[in-house]
Amino acid sequence: MAELSVVVVSQDNEHRAILQVLVDGTSVARVVHTCASYPVVANDPVVRRIQSASPEVVLVDVPVDNPANAVRSIEILHQELRDPAPAIFAIGSMSQPQVIVSAMRSGAKEYIERPTTATDLLEAFVRLTATQRKTGREGPRGKVYTIINAKGGSGATTTAVNLALALHAAHGGTALVDMASLGHASLHMNLKPVFSVADAVRNIHRLDSSLLDSFMTRHNGGLQVLAGPNAPLPIEPSTAEFARLFDLLVNHFRYVVVDASSRMDATSRLVCSLSEAVLLVAHADVASLWSAARIQQYLAETGGRERVHLVLNRFRKIPGFSEADAEAASGLKLMWKIPNHYFAVSAAIDRGVPVMQQGNTEIARSFSGLAAKLTENDVEVKRRTWSLFKTVS
């Protein structure tokens, strides 16, 4: 493993010195520059000094008492440092899940516990070089789409399974993560997983891309599935542990579809905060839309209300009830309508063969359309579409 060049950014003189000693102590990295202040604007001299040092990693110390400036600096560095862009590692407390979310959304590739050890840093450096070796370059982080029931039985798992299959068929590099308290997604696909989300989180301290792969179950279409537990967990993992898991997932997959089912807790809210879009699956009835309104209010308490969208499942036209009525009742913008094919879907679940695998049916086309809707603004998707039209004679 070649020696990595590292810049340390911390306003705490003592902690900055400690981080320098720890980095040098890994024997695989060396500190080439340190900064005693955080950049506050794009043209900040700190950014230019870091850029001139040409680091492969920037360590940003996130203080417990005032993390906002550090998180803002991560966003600035992520936007401004290019050609090549270094990996940004945040060093902070694992007891502040919202700070972890903010740091990751701002561009941090790793979130390492504070106080830090040389072993923690070494493992992070090894993960970085392993990922770069596998991809050959520093690629964009994947996108997370979380699917939640407005109320029990609305069809979140069916939507998550078929959406994941549609995304993988169209783009590859897709994972399905079952976050339900009792996982059903594997049953929908006739899978018999050996490991589950609980195993991945239990080994979070040593989890890397290779170990993550070993915990996942491959569907015959190539989709990777991180199964839900087959029994309720006696002790739920912490939100910080789930934050670390999703940090790794988005660096390993292009798309991550999360089946949150009817789970409503701090963990589901954390995952929604990490998501590009949250799809709230409901039926066009009073109870379902009433529940959707309450759930979107709960999720919006941590910000990002604009990421939550309404999906109407088993949709059929009802005289006197319009799409605008559904939006007004739920307080959400309608993104998609899945047609009512109840018996076909029920049979697909019983057989363990999702409707996406049963040919070019109306409902399969609907899930493919939803996948296309979610990815229509992705740069790689748009570039590929343009190339196809460009080559047509």
CATH of the domain at 187: 3.40.50.300
DSSP reduced 3-state for 320: coil
Same domain, 218 and 127: no
In a domain, 275, yes or no: yes
pTM of the model: 0.71
Same domain, 12 and 101: yes
Q: Single out the residue in 80, 108, 135 at which a domain terminates.
A: 135
In a domain, 162, yes or no: yes
Same domain, 124 and 149: no
Rounded to the nearest integer, the mean pLDDT of the chain is 88
Cα 52 to chain centroid distance, Å, stands at 32
In a domain, 335, yes or no: yes
- Position 385 pLDDT exceeds 60: no
Overall number of domains in the chain: 2
Same domain, 46 and 195: no
In a domain, 302, yes or no: yes
Q: 38-60: per-residue pLDDT in tens?
A: 999 988 999 999 999 999 999 99
Q: 270-285: per-residue pLDDT in tens?
A: 888 889 999 999 999 9
Same domain, 97 and 154: no
Same domain, 110 and 157: no
Q: What mean pLDDT is predicted for residues 142-155?
A: 94
Same domain, 115 and 183: no
Same domain, 102 and 250: no
Q: Single out the residue in 113, 135, 157 at which a domain terminates.
A: 135
Q: What is the chain's alpha carbon radius of gyration, rounded to the nearest angstrom? A: 22
In a domain, 392, yes or no: no
Q: What is the pLDDT of residue 202?
A: 86
d(CA 349, CA 341): 12
Residue with structure tokens 């748009």?
Answer: 382
Domain ranges, residue 129? 4-135
Cβ proximity of 31 and 24 under 8 Å: yes
What band does 391 get if pLDDT is binned at 50, 70 and 90? very low
d(CA 349, CA 92): 43
- Position 393 pLDDT exceeds 50: no
Same domain, 124 and 191: no
Q: Which residue has the higher pLDDT, 20 or 321?
A: 20
CATH of the domain at 43: 3.40.50.2300
CB-based burial label for 159 (10 Å; 0-12, 13-18, 19+): buried
Same domain, 124 and 198: no
Angstrom distances, CA of residue 309 to CA of 77, 286, 290, 326, 337: 31, 17, 15, 12, 11
Same domain, 130 and 147: no
d(CA 102, CA 105): 5
Same domain, 231 and 123: no
Angstrom distances, CA of residue 71 to CA of 68, 75, 90, 113: 5, 7, 9, 15
Residue with structure tokens 């891309």?
Answer: 209
Q: What mean pLDDT is predicted for residues 121-137?
A: 70
DSSP reduced 3-state for 198: helix
What band does 389 get if pLDDT is binned at 50, 70 and 90? very low
DSSP reduced 3-state for 200: helix
